[in-house]
Chain A
Amino acid sequence: MPDSNGGAASAPEPCAHGSGHACVPHRHDGISAAIDPSALISARGLCVARHGRELLIDVDLDIHEREIVTLIGPNGAGKTTLVRVLLGLERPDSGVVHRRRDLKIGYVPQRFDSDDVIPMTVERFLMLGGSYGARRIGEILEHVDAAKVRGQQLGQLSGGELQRVVLARALLRNPNLLVLDEPVQGVDYSGEADLYNLIARLRDEAGFGVLLVSHDLHIVMARSDRVVCLNRHVCCSGLPEAVAQHPSYGRLFGAEAARAFALYRHDHDHSHDLSGMPTAAGDGAPARGDD
């Protein structure tokens, strides 16, 4: 394998260079590491193959309360597949997913194709996730900056409005885990940072865990407690800074991404002071991963 400048971002390649990741059919729990019962979701040894292609290879992942975990990886890295397995929408070929008994998921899917075929106002749509008072719906819509669309039909909303309404539905459920699959698609650029700041703020208030899927590197990193870098298997994971310095991260996203990341860290120092986010614990801990 040639080193870092291989343009890996455009051509995803597994970054397992003999690192021991493999899918063993019918792997027993005794072999895989124990699940973490305190985690909201704890997955061990996930393997998914479709049409003879391995989409996920031996993936372990834990998400705890109050933790923002960002899942990054190039297109085709299996990010959405992993999310679907964690949510129980798809069964893994092997491996286990343990969901804590009190787990309550708020989900914002990658694409929400609103469908004019069903007449549906925003308010009625929000009521589908549970039953809430009119006042609470108003508050949440205010939170996500979508108060003015309350009486509109779903089919009349723009992509960004729709995304915020779906987020509102997820938040209304009082989840202890919020799962967002590429939440900024269809949101204009200035809306991205706002959305992430909002999610981080709500996390601070409500204390839910967050699983965020993205291929957008620099903004995503800003609020993450942990970054998991996926390319069919977990290439590396850890604190944002540590992941960015990890060799397999550079291989996966190329030098371009590494620069973007450096830029982000600069931004983060500024926003950090304003928002009063706590410093990430365990400074300087190296990322776990290949090599």
Chain B
Amino acid sequence: MLEPFLLRALIASLGLAVVAAPLGCFVVWQRMAYFGETVAQAGLIGVALGLALQMDVTWGVLIVALAVAALLVWFGRQKLVALDSILGLLHHAALAAGVIATSMIRGAPVDLTGFLFGDVFAVTRSDVAIILIGGALVLAAVAWLWQPLLRLAVHEELAAAEGVDREKVRTVFIVLLAVTIAVAMKIVGILLVMAFLVVPAVAARPLAGTPERMVVLTGLAAAVSVVSGLWLSAMIDSPGGPSIVLLMSVLAGISLSWAAFGRPGRRQG
């Protein structure tokens, strides 16, 4: 029988793998990996906020993630500087501010490693509950908005001309992304959250022929990585979150190699 802490780690990570699959796919489809990265790293400021206000850091991360996402959307309205440049600036600034903010928390020195890389074996029963409930809400919202989200991802203007309310759908998606980042933070940490979303989707892309199939394959790739990553972690006593992400990356590497070698020719005319 599994140790309780191992069982909690397994349930939490598998739950997250399922929730992250559709979001990770949309992040990849909409080229928002860097956007998510910036929002996630700003989460460290949220950690400081949570510690300072003595509440669960998940809430702090969520608040700051939403604020930074809103700031990015607002910055995106100007066209003089491309968004990726702004992201390049902001994600370092956010990390720096987060490190400084956590260092200023009074009391016992904060162990940053746990927040940066997660501590999957330390998840509590309430963490598991947050992940399962929050995850179910996120999944329900994604299912509800699946068609308009997909239409926007395929061709934004076409969807908008056909009547999709792009402001609304975009906003909901960003909120869902921020919620997922906040919830996933305890397991894989601020620095690896986006890898948890993006890498399985990358692994799934070469094998998928339809968007729905890609989501399923993404979930499978993530679940396989979670189980084998936790097993690896138990065997060689490596950190849990990084082990999962490393195995995800191995899958993505194999999949991309297959795509690069196996199907060099594409697109006629």
Is the pairing of A and B real? Answer: yes
Please report A residues at the B interface, Cβ cutoff 8 Å.
84, 87-89, 105-107, 109, 112, 115-121, 124-125, 128-129, 153, 155-156, 158-160, 166, 169, 173, 179
Q: Is the CB of B147 within 8 A of A87?
A: no
Q: Given the complex of chains A and B, what is the CA–CA distance between A120 and B211 in angstroms?
A: 6
Which 10 A/B pairs are nearest by Cβ-Cβ distance?
A: A158-B269, A107-B161, A119-B208, A87-B161, A118-B29, A128-B151, A124-B210, A119-B214, A119-B209, A158-B268
Within the complex, the shortest CB–CB distance from A106 to chain B, in Å, comes to: 8
Q: Given the complex of chains A and B, what is the CA–CA distance between A167 and B268 in angstroms?
A: 20
**B residues near A107, Cβ cutoff 8 Å:** 157-158, 161-162
B150 within 8 A of A: yes
Given contacts A166-B158, A173-B162, 13 further A-B contacts (CB under 8 A): A109-B155, A109-B161, A112-B155, A117-B205, A119-B208, A119-B209, A120-B154, A120-B211, A128-B147, A128-B154, A153-B209, A158-B268, A169-B158
Within the complex, the shortest CB–CB distance from A211 to chain B, in Å, comes to: 12
Q: Given the complex of chains A and B, what is the CA–CA distance between A112 and B160 in angstroms?
A: 14
**Who on chain A is nearest to B207 by CB?**
A119
Q: Is the CB of A112 within 8 A of B158?
A: yes
Given the interface pairs A112-B155, A155-B267, the reply to whether A105 lies near B161 with Cβ below 8 Å is yes
**B residues near A118, Cβ cutoff 8 Å:** 29, 153-154, 211
B213 within 8 A of A: yes
CB-contact partner of A119 in B155, B161, B205, B268, under 8 A: B205
| A-facing residues in B205-241 (Cβ within 8 Å) | 205, 208-211, 213-214
Given the interface pairs A117-B29, A128-B150, A128-B151, the reply to whether A88 lies near B205 with Cβ below 8 Å is no
Please report B residues at the A interface, Cβ cutoff 8 Å.
28-29, 31, 147, 150-151, 153-155, 157-163, 205, 208-211, 213-214, 266-269
**A residues near B154, Cβ cutoff 8 Å:** 115, 118, 120, 125, 128
**A residues near B267, Cβ cutoff 8 Å:** 116, 155-156
Q: Is the CB of B210 within 8 A of A155?
A: no
**B residues near A106, Cβ cutoff 8 Å:** 162
CB-contact partner of A129 in B162, B205, B211, under 8 A: B162
**B residues near A160, Cβ cutoff 8 Å:** 269
**A residues near B211, Cβ cutoff 8 Å:** 118-120, 124
Q: Given the complex of chains A and B, what is the CA–CA distance between A107 and B151 in angstroms?
A: 13
Chain B binding surface, main DSSP class? helix
**A residues near B210, Cβ cutoff 8 Å:** 119-121, 124
Within the complex, the shortest CB–CB distance from A108 to chain B, in Å, comes to: 8
Within the complex, the shortest CB–CB distance from A288 to chain B, in Å, comes to: 28
**B residues near A173, Cβ cutoff 8 Å:** 162
**A residues near B160, Cβ cutoff 8 Å:** 87-89
Q: Given the complex of chains A and B, what is the CA–CA distance between A158 and B211 in angstroms?
A: 21
Q: Given the complex of chains A and B, what is the CA–CA distance between A129 and B161 in angstroms?
A: 11
**A residues near B153, Cβ cutoff 8 Å:** 118
**B residues near A179, Cβ cutoff 8 Å:** 161
**Who on chain A is nearest to B156 by CB?**
A89
Within the complex, the shortest CB–CB distance from B78 to chain A, in Å, comes to: 12
Within the complex, the shortest CB–CB distance from B135 to chain A, in Å, comes to: 24
Q: Is the CB of B209 within 8 A of A121?
A: yes
Given the interface pairs A107-B158, A124-B210, A128-B151, the reply to whether A117 lies near B269 with Cβ below 8 Å is no
Q: Given the complex of chains A and B, what is the CA–CA distance between A112 and B158 in angstroms?
A: 9
Q: Given the complex of chains A and B, what is the CA–CA distance between A1 and B173 in angstroms?
A: 54
CB-contact partner of A89 in B161, B208, B209, B269, under 8 A: B161
Within the complex, the shortest CB–CB distance from B33 to chain A, in Å, comes to: 11
Q: Given the complex of chains A and B, what is the CA–CA distance between A84 and B208 in angstroms?
A: 34
Within the complex, the shortest CB–CB distance from A116 to chain B, in Å, comes to: 8
Q: Given the complex of chains A and B, what is the CA–CA distance between A166 and B162 in angstroms?
A: 12
Within the complex, the shortest CB–CB distance from A102 to chain B, in Å, comes to: 12
**Who on chain B is nearest to A154 by CB?**
B154
Within the complex, the shortest CB–CB distance from A215 to chain B, in Å, comes to: 20
Within the complex, the shortest CB–CB distance from A110 to chain B, in Å, comes to: 9
**B residues near A159, Cβ cutoff 8 Å:** 269
**Who on chain A is nearest to B148 by CB?**
A128
Given the interface pairs A88-B161, A109-B157, A119-B214, the reply to whether A156 lies near B31 with Cβ below 8 Å is no
**Who on chain A is nearest to B151 by CB?**
A128
Q: Given the complex of chains A and B, what is the CA–CA distance between A112 and B210 in angstroms?
A: 19
Within the complex, the shortest CB–CB distance from A112 to chain B, in Å, comes to: 7
